[in-house]
Every structure is written in C-alpha cells, then in structure tokens.
C-alpha cells in the first residue's frame, strides 16, 4: 500500500498546474502507478473520482485525461491477459478496473459537461471521439455524453435571446447518433423480422408493438421546457427526418407502475410509465434521449435480482412515427416526411417534450421523440 499512498498527492498536484491541469509527465507517472497496483482497482477508482470532485472546474478535464490514460492501459492489459471486462470480472484485475471506471464515468461526465469552460469544450468533444473510435466505453453511453454536450451548447447559445426558438445550424451537421439503415435494408437483412412478422399478434408478450394499454397514467410532476435537442443530418435520404426514441419497452413486467417507475428512476427522469399487467409488459418514457440511453444501458447491466424480477427485459420502443421506419437496436427512426399525418406534424412542433420546440419541420432534422396526444388525431404509428 506504500505505492498507493503516492497516488493521492500526485492527483492533488494536478491542481497546481496550469489549466486544464495536466502534463505528460504526470499522466505517465499516475498511469504507471495504477497499472502496477491494479490489485487495488477499487481504491484507485475512488481516489480518481474524489480528485475529480475536488478539482476546480478549470481542472476537471485534466483528471479526465488521467481516466483516459489509465482506462486504455488497463483495457490493453486485460486483452493481453484474456480477462473479461464486466461486472463479473474478478476484483483486482484489469478487466474489473475498466468496468469500475465505466460505471462511474456517467457521473463524471454529467458534472464536467455542466461546468466545462468554453475553451475546453472542443477538447472534451475530441476525447469523446477518441473513445468512440477505440470502443473504450459503450457506444450508447458516448452518444448520450455527446448529446449532453450539444444540449448545453444549444442552451447557452439561446441564453439572453428573447425568442426561445431553436436557431438554425450554421452549417450542415452530422447527427450525434449513429446512422441507421433504411427500413427496406432492415427488412432484407432480417434485423426487423421479429418485429414485423404478422404472426406476432397483440396478445404475444414478446411483441414490441406500441399500443397504449387501457391503464391509468400517474401525472408526472416534470414539465418540458423550450430548450430542445435539435440537429441536422443531410446524409439522410431526401425529405426524411431522424427521430431519437425516448420510449423503452419492458418485457416480463410483473411490478406495479410505482415499482417500475422507481427502478428506471435510478438512471434518469421518468416522464410516464404505463403497465399492462395482463400482458406483463410496460412502456417507460424518459424525459429526454440522454436519460433514455442511460436507462437502457443501466437496465442492460442491472444485476439487482429483485428489480429484474419486476422488469426483466428492456428494449427500445417506438413512441412516434411508423414502426417499420424504426431500428429497434438503436431506437432511431428515419422517417419520410410524406408518411407523417397532419396530427404527427402538429405534435412535432408543439410537443412539450421532444420535437422541434416550435420550429417548423424541415427535411434533415434530427430530433427527440415528440409526445403524441391520444385521441387528438390520427398517428402514423398505427
């Protein structure tokens, strides 16, 4: 433990450096110490997290560079030693260390994104790109981080502006989520077979058709706001939009509405929870895509047997637009505008959650799933 005693003062010394608080010498020294003492992976991760929390906003990025270096070294050595990277990895191994960093990263990134100085945002974005290319962390998690950063930038751009309408992009922008194949391609390669097979009737418990069951909805205290996630992706087919689902389908749902809502609230803010007890499934809608991705990721990794007994399986659902336009693996729909009904187009613009925030619908838009009003028009969802 003598070597481990050196870690804390080394991490504290980062605060004495010029922002963002890092040098190559410090990175190398701390990384080497963490690699040599991986048997203390829990203590190492705790000390790094504490150093991050104690750092001023100007120096949090420096600690994140430490996270990057240590994680990539641990990951490389885990591969060399054929160690699994999962919650079941043996404690004190490289695989266990990588998993522990992955588990705490959402908390660190949420803190960083909310406080990062303007002159460091590009560096944060580049670091996320590096992790994405190297598959350092789960892709869905990284996509959620990118969306958080984009939402913050949009909110700051709107600050002090009288009109809260979302500003148009200065130049064509790629969507922060990975592109999906067309519905025809999905049908061809079989990815959508389970969901489009006519043999899956309404009474099939494994079906993912999003028909709202006749259940009472508990009013949500959460209210939407005018700051909407909105980007443009001009690589989509002409006259299409991309919709990012906020809806999650829960199979094997034996819990009550309150129980399932509480389970998903561990990962983010729940807007609505509808449970069909007789069919043993539920639909949980999160307030935004970031929380939806976090909930999907969290439920995929959940090991709490009590919670899993009440919400056994979680997959992406469709809350807006034609079902055959959705990629159920990513929760992303690419929809021809011509297939939207008049009611769809109204909801896209006026929805309290999701949608365009009042901006007229345009081809190439990438937006979060807008709320639909049951009984207030015909939905293309069917």
Domains of the chain, by residue range, sit at 4-137, 183-368
Residue-wise pLDDT tens digits, 119-153: 999 999 999 999 988 889 988 888 888 887 877 76
pLDDT class for 87, splitting at 50, 70, 90? confident
pLDDT class for 228, splitting at 50, 70, 90? confident
| Candidate from 44-48, 106-110, 154-158, 307-311 with smallest mean pLDDT | 154-158
For the residues of 221-251, what is the DSSP string, one character each? Answer: S----S---EEE-TTSPTTEEEEE--EEEEE
Q: Does pTM top 0.75 for this prediction?
A: no
Identity of the highest mean pLDDT range in 67-76, 99-108, 134-143, 230-239: 67-76
For 284-305, what is the mean pLDDT? Answer: 92
Count of H-run helices and E-run strands, the chain: 13, 9
Report pLDDT for 210.
Answer: 40
The number of angstroms, rounded, from the C-alpha of 236 to the middle of its chain's C-alpha atoms is 22
Residue 202 or residue 229, greater confidence: 229
Can you tell me the distance from the alpha carbon of 217 to that of 257, in angstroms, rounded to the nearest whole number? 9
Residue-wise pLDDT tens digits, 333-348: 999 999 999 999 999 9
Q: Which fold has domain 4-137?
A: 1.25.40
Architecture of domain 183-368: 2-Layer Sandwich (3.30)
The number of angstroms, rounded, from the C-alpha of 113 to the middle of its chain's C-alpha atoms is 14
> Residue 223 corresponds to which tokens in the numbers above?
């209210």
- Alpha-carbon torsion 84, 60, 49, 104, what sign? negative
């Amino acid at each position: 433990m003598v070597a481990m005693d050196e870690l804390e003062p080394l991490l504290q010394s980062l605060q004495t450096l010029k922002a963002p608080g890092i040098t190559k010498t410090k990175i190398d020294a701390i990384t080497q110490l963490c690699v040599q003492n991986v048997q203390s992976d829990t203590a190492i991760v705790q000390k790094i997290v504490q150093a991050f929390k104690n750092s001023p906003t100007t120096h949090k990025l420096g600690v994140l560079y430490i996270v990057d270096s240590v994680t990539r070294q641990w990951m490389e050595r885990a591969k060399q030693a054929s160690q699994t990277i999962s919650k079941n990895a043996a404690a004190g191994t490289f695989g266990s260390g990588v998993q522990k960093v992955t588990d705490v990263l959402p908390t660190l990134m949420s803190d960083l994104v909310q406080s990062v100085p303007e002159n460091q945002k590009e560096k944060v974005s580049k670091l996320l790109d590096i992790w994405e290319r190297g598959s350092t962390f789960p892709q869905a998690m990284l996509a959620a981080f990118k969306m958080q950063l984009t939402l913050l930038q949009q909110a700051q751009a709107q600050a002090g502006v009288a009109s809260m309408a979302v500003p148009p992009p200065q130049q064509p922008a790629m969507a922060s989520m990975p592109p999906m194949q067309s519905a025809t391609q999905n049908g061809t390669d079989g990815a959508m077979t389970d969901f489009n097979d006519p043999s899956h009737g309404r009474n099939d418990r494994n079906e993912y058709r999003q028909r709202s069951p006749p259940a009472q909805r508990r009013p949500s205290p959460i209210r939407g706001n005018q700051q909407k996630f909105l980007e443009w992706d001009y690589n989509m087919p002409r006259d299409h939009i991309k919709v990012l689902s906020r809806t999650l389908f829960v199979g094997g749902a034996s819990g009550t509405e309150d129980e399932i809502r509480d389970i998903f609230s561990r990962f983010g803010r729940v807007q609505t929870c509808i449970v069909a007890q007789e069919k043993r499934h539920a639909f949980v809608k999160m307030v935004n895509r970031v929380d939806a991705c976090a909930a999907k990721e969290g439920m995929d990794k959940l090991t709490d047997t009590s919670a899993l007994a009440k919400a056994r399986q979680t997959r992406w659902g469709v809350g807006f637009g034609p079902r055959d336009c959705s990629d159920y693996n990513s929760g992303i729909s690419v929809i021809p505008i011509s297939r939207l009904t008049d009611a769809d187009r109204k909801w896209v613009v006026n929805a309290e959650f999701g949608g365009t925030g009042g901006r007229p619908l345009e081809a190439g838009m990438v937006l979060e799933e807008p709320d639909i009003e049951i009984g207030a028009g015909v939905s293309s969802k069917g």
